[in-house]
Structure 1
């Protein structure tokens, strides 16, 4: 009888303790703990979520352990991870209008570019996230990618002839080919080995990667081009998001959206500074593409914009509206 009475007395306290137990969310990431995105974005963000929720939300990051780069969207959709970020370009056909951000020579910085991309997402692109079963938290781009090579210094378009350059799939491949180089698709984590073994002669990357995966050890020449960006989407499984208590959803909302886009883009710009310093320390050459030569590169790749607009039209999608909106937003945030 005494034990039964004790259980009856204790049960409300047990229930209260249970109600206050933190909700753990699994966050999938394809980069390791040494990468600037992990150190300057994911870890600080997870800490802010915990603090703002009074410890009731715990974000556990799985850095490069749940799946490869191309698997990230599926991990979120299938509920293996509750949330994470992914590259839309690695999910062909799923985010057609979002691919506008892959067109060359658009952006100047991670911060301004990410703000413009998020504003575009809110205005024109949200249906693509809904169709994928996602609660999109925020979007971002990395700072513009530059050209980094192992042995040959590139100063003009003719220097690209015969070079095998690592690219991401999609528009970047086509642009590289139009400029006269041979595009080679290599997964991000395998880039160092491909350069070291001579499988490729160079890469298009933001400066961050030069330090982040120690490419300064194998790359000796760097050309500032502001060539391309990769759009990223940070999202949560829609069902998992809907199941959270309203106040915890509000915590995520307050640390997402335009604030998080600016926060992430600014962090990536800071990461770039580390890459420049790493290249300088090993005595690498750093050059800037002259304006006249840049105009040649832009002219050579301009047909890609026409091709993108035609492909959107063929799908009955408003590509012309989206591209105009993006250009207007870039003038506002990233000029």
Structure 2
């Protein structure tokens, strides 16, 4: 009888200790969320942004929340990211508004307008006020966690591009209506392919050029297939980080508050900082990688650069017309707010 009572006492004590261990983070997580991203685990977006963020969330919640990262678009590609997150295919992900123009994220394509936002550190300063002003009631089955951007897009090419003339009649991979229009106005032939198809298309000669960021180009080793980079700073690509609403609603109030007030801003901070601070190093790395192939980084200046930027005015005007056709009667108001915010943040607009 005494042995039995002792055994019961020990089991009870172990149960209490087990509960304490779980609460302190050494036990099984209460909430496990999937985070789908397009780059591989070797890409800086994984190593410097998503992985540290996942660790931060786990630490700050004492292990109650665990983030499982799925690389290389394992759970879905960027083209369907908005629908996939809303539908619960995965819990957390990011949307490129320019790749999701049939969704409520469309107004954020303003952030992808040519030569608008060049530094990702400026993206949340400009676009978060825009979301607060125009998009508070737009998201039904997802929760906006953070807004950020990539580093500016450049031209990565198989042959050197010194001027706009070197783009004419060349096949150029590009995404987003406004950037497609830019390549057309340069005289190039736009080709729409997924990020993961860039390398193969350049390597096989299916295309001549691609528009992509320096950090991204290094991450996908595009320099092996296209040893020239022309630094024209077309503009950053907006990244809207979303969380499935049902997954968010499962969290107790204290954890919801952490996601809204801490984890979302932290994700934006990590992403913006990595892409902003990594650009210069990425350009140096690209040039180093292509040195033995005769490749180089080309930096247009003066009138040459102005010629690359010249189509911006028409594209910005057309954005308002296209948005109105989509049913946004306040498109001009959105554009005015966007340009005014750029000015308030000390960001030069390419449009007079």
Alignment of 1:120 onto 2:130: yes
Seen in structure 2, the aligned counterparts of structure 1 residues 321 and 257 have a Cα distance that, compared at 3 Å, is farther
How many residue pairs match? The answer is 331
**Distance (whole Å) between structure 2 residues aligned to residue 6 and residue 249 of structure 1:** 38
**Distance (whole Å) between structure 1 residues aligned to residue 18 and residue 249 of structure 2:** 23
| Deviating more after overlay: 179-188 vs 155-164 | 155-164
Q: CA deviation at 1:330?
A: 2.7
- Tell me which of 292, 312, 316 is aligned to 1:305: 316
Please state whether the residue corresponding to 2:230 is helix, strand or coil: strand
Alignment of 1:191 onto 2:201: no
Alignment of 1:138 onto 2:146: yes
Q: CA deviation at 1:252?
A: 1.5
Structure 2 partner of 1:296 = 307
Please state whether the residue corresponding to 1:302 is helix, strand or coil: helix
Across the aligned residues of Structure 1 and Structure 2, the Cα RMSD in angstroms comes to: 2.5
**Distance (whole Å) between structure 2 residues aligned to residue 311 and residue 176 of structure 1:** 18
Structure 2 partner of 1:219 = 226
Q: For each residue in 1:261-311, what CA deviation from the matched residue of structure 2 results, as whole angstroms up to 9, or x when unmatched? A: 233111112332342122221223222222323333333242222221112
Are the counterparts in 2 of residues 36 and 271 from structure 1 also a CA contact under 8 Å?
no
- Tell me which of 296, 305, 310 is aligned to 1:285: 296
Are the counterparts in 2 of residues 97 and 317 from structure 1 also a CA contact under 8 Å?
no
Q: For each residue in 1:19-76, what CA deviation from the matched residue of structure 2 results, as whole angstroms up to 9, or x when unmatched? A: 7442211111121101111111101111111111111111111112212222322332
With normalisation by structure 2, the TM-score equals: 0.85
**Distance (whole Å) between structure 2 residues aligned to residue 178 and residue 141 of structure 1:** 25
Please state whether the residue corresponding to 1:135 is helix, strand or coil: strand
Q: Which runs of 5+ in 1 are unaligned?
A: none
**Distance (whole Å) between structure 2 residues aligned to residue 169 and residue 103 of structure 1:** 9
With normalisation by structure 1, the TM-score equals: 0.89
| Deviating more after overlay: 18-27 vs 70-79 | 18-27
Are the counterparts in 2 of residues 112 and 334 from structure 1 also a CA contact under 8 Å?
no
**Distance (whole Å) between structure 2 residues aligned to residue 56 and residue 291 of structure 1:** 55
Matched ranges for 1:12-23 at <5 A: 13=16, 16=19, 20=23, 21-22=28-29, 23=31
- Tell me which of 68, 73, 79 is aligned to 2:77: 68
Are the counterparts in 2 of residues 108 and 334 from structure 1 also a CA contact under 8 Å?
no
Please state whether the residue corresponding to 1:225 is helix, strand or coil: coil
Are the counterparts in 2 of residues 216 and 279 from structure 1 also a CA contact under 8 Å?
yes
Q: CA deviation at 1:10?
A: 7.1
Seen in structure 2, the aligned counterparts of structure 1 residues 226 and 330 have a Cα distance that, compared at 3 Å, is same
Which fold has the larger relative contact order, with Cα–Cα distance below 8 Å and residues 6 or more apart in sequence? 1
**Distance (whole Å) between structure 1 residues aligned to residue 338 and residue 164 of structure 2:** 28
Structure 1 partner of 2:62 = 54
Please state whether the residue corresponding to 2:191 is helix, strand or coil: strand
Matched ranges for 1:148-163 at <5 A: 148-151=156-159, 153-163=160-170
- Tell me which of 309, 323, 326 is aligned to 2:338: 326
Please state whether the residue corresponding to 2:187 is helix, strand or coil: coil
Q: CA deviation at 1:184?
A: 0.6
**Distance (whole Å) between structure 2 residues aligned to residue 291 and residue 125 of structure 1:** 38
Q: Which runs of 5+ in 2 are unaligned?
A: 348-352
Q: CA deviation at 1:116?
A: 1.9
Are the counterparts in 2 of residues 84 and 234 from structure 1 also a CA contact under 8 Å?
yes
Seen in structure 2, the aligned counterparts of structure 1 residues 309 and 163 have a Cα distance that, compared at 3 Å, is same
Seen in structure 2, the aligned counterparts of structure 1 residues 258 and 115 have a Cα distance that, compared at 3 Å, is farther
Structure 2 partner of 1:24 = 32
Q: CA deviation at 1:124?
A: 2.4
| Deviating more after overlay: 38-47 vs 14-23 | 14-23
Are the counterparts in 2 of residues 116 and 334 from structure 1 also a CA contact under 8 Å?
no
**Distance (whole Å) between structure 2 residues aligned to residue 139 and residue 334 of structure 1:** 19
Q: For each residue in 1:184-226, what CA deviation from the matched residue of structure 2 results, as whole angstroms up to 9, or x when unmatched? A: 1110011111100001111111110221111121222221111
Seen in structure 2, the aligned counterparts of structure 1 residues 112 and 84 have a Cα distance that, compared at 3 Å, is same
